Structure 1
Amino acid sequence: MSAEPDRRRYDSLRRATQARETRMEIARAARELFLSQGWAATTVREVARAAGVSVPTVYAAYGNKTGLTRALADAADLSADVPRMLEELESSAGDPGRQLAAMAAYDRRLFERAGDIITLVREAGRTEPELAVAYRDGRGQGDRTRELVFSSWPDGVLRGGLDVRSAVDVYAALCNIDVYTTLTAERGWSSERVEHWWGEALARQLLN
């Protein structure tokens, strides 16, 4: 008597897996097209064709092209392993230098694995207000993390003349997609070298 419920349960799992695989295939196709021919020039129909699905399937999965792009931006954070950064921040509590290194390592992973998507969202946001908000939200989340960490440090840890807000600004000036791209794409630095330099530069600029 349990065979039919079991079969329905596995059928449900199979459908959910297939739906997830379809969403991943749509996202993969969209990312390739957005990067190869530009966000504005890419249509939902082209994404559907490249993914091997119907146009209604793309709309059902992501709503529209903007929704699809927001999903790619959300996946960028996941690809950089936020839980790993949080674990490293907690394990190095009381050691500001190590905490700065943990945040720099996260930014390195983020830009290394999803820098193209971050740049895409920023550029698309020039004409698409919702994506401009998505880009600002991503930057704001990073700022809030740094504010939380810097605020946890005892008085006297930050360099003289720096408050938490100013320290966040200095961090943002050093660790961003443009600096990463300049050093890796134009100057030939490895991502590991960028991460190491960031850690040292942040310590020099922010810590007593």
Structure 2
Amino acid sequence: MSAEPGSRRYDSLRRATQAQETRAEIARAARRLFVSQGWAATTVRDVAREAGVSVPTVYAAYGNKTGLTRALADAADLSADAPQMLAELEAPETGPERQLAAMAGYDRRLFERAGDVIALIREAGRTEPELAEAYRDGRRRGDETRVWVFSRWPPGVLRSGLDVRAAVDVYAAICNIDVYATLTAERGWPPDRVERWWGEALARELLERGDGAALSV
């Protein structure tokens, strides 16, 4: 007698769940090794050993080391909670200064939760064109969000002498992973202090009437 439909569905769900757990464990193992010993020095065999799976399982799950790294990049974006930022940007009561704070908050979450992944992708991109493109894609997506926000502000909001593209450049100079790493790792700032300072600095540098007085470091 064949298995009942309910039992087959249960087995299918169990297999899918196990596969997801295996993929997640491979990704966690790869992240640990990439960060601790470097992307170039880490092999697929190393990742398989760290995750407790076979080498073919790693290839079946992610294709190759580059595919695995791209998956880590996608997970990094998810970890920063883009829907939260979008909700804050589109809230009816949110003006330009609070929109800048919302974007700074997203970047703080991204760098706090996945800064190691971003750094390793940037480093690996020096020798792997596909990962260099993944890094550039991330930067472009950030710029596109800022263009979208700044372009919707009425005339007179941006500081005199700034157009949208220049404002995006200023944002990128202030709010980036290198500044975050310097302030947290070298200067001992907690992440929330970096986020508040970013909000203040962005308002001061980008807004004609924004002095950032409500945001103290």
State the TM-score, normalizing by the size of structure 1.
Answer: 0.97
Match of 1:16 in 2: 16
**Is 2:124 aligned against 1:124?**
yes
CA drift at 1:93: 6.0
State how far apart, in whole Å, the 2-side matches of 1:138 and 1:93 are: 29
Counterpart Cα distance in 2 of 1:93 and 1:164: 22
Q: Matches of 1:119 and 1:170 in 2, distance apart? A: 21
Secondary structure (helix, strand or coil) at the match of 2:158 reads coil
Q: Tell me the secondary structure at the aligned position of residue 157 of structure 1.
A: coil
Matches of 1:21 and 1:92, distance apart in 2: 40
Deviations 1:145-172 (A, max 9, x none): 0000000100110000100000000000
Unpaired runs of 5+ residues, structure 1, are none
SS at 1:156 equivalent: coil
Query: Helix, strand or coil: the match of 2:169?
Result: helix
Partner of 2:143: 143
The equivalent residue for 1:206 is 206
Q: CA deviation at 1:92?
A: 5.1
- Contact kept in structure 2, 1:147 and 1:168, CA below 8 Å: yes
CA distance in 2 between counterparts of 1:114 and 1:153 reads 30
Quote how far apart the aligned CAs of 1:87 are.
Answer: 0.6
Q: Retained in 1: the 8 A contact 2:104–2:175? A: yes
Q: Partner residue of 1:34? A: 34
RMSD: 1.4
The 1-side partners of 2:102 and 2:65 are apart by 34
Q: Distance in 2 between matches of 1:42 and 1:63?
A: 16
Q: Distance in 2 between matches of 1:71 and 1:123?
A: 16
The 4+ residue runs of structure 1 with deviation greater than 4 A are: none
CA contact (8 A) 2:35 2:116 kept: yes
* SS of residue paired to 2:4: helix
Q: Are 1:196 and 2:193 counterparts? A: no
Between structures 1 and 2, the one with greater helix share: 1
Deviation of 1:10 (Å): 1.2
Q: For residues 1-150 of structure 1, what are the structure 2 equivalents within 5 Å? A: 4-91=4-91, 95-150=95-150
1:140 shift after superposition: 0.3
Percent of pairs with identical residues:
81
1:41 to partner: Cα distance: 0.4
Q: Distance in 1 between matches of 2:148 and 2:42?
A: 39
CA distance in 1, matches of 2:33, 2:23: 15
TM-score of the aligned structures, taking structure 2 as reference length: 0.93
- Name the aligned partner's letter for residue 24 of structure 1: A
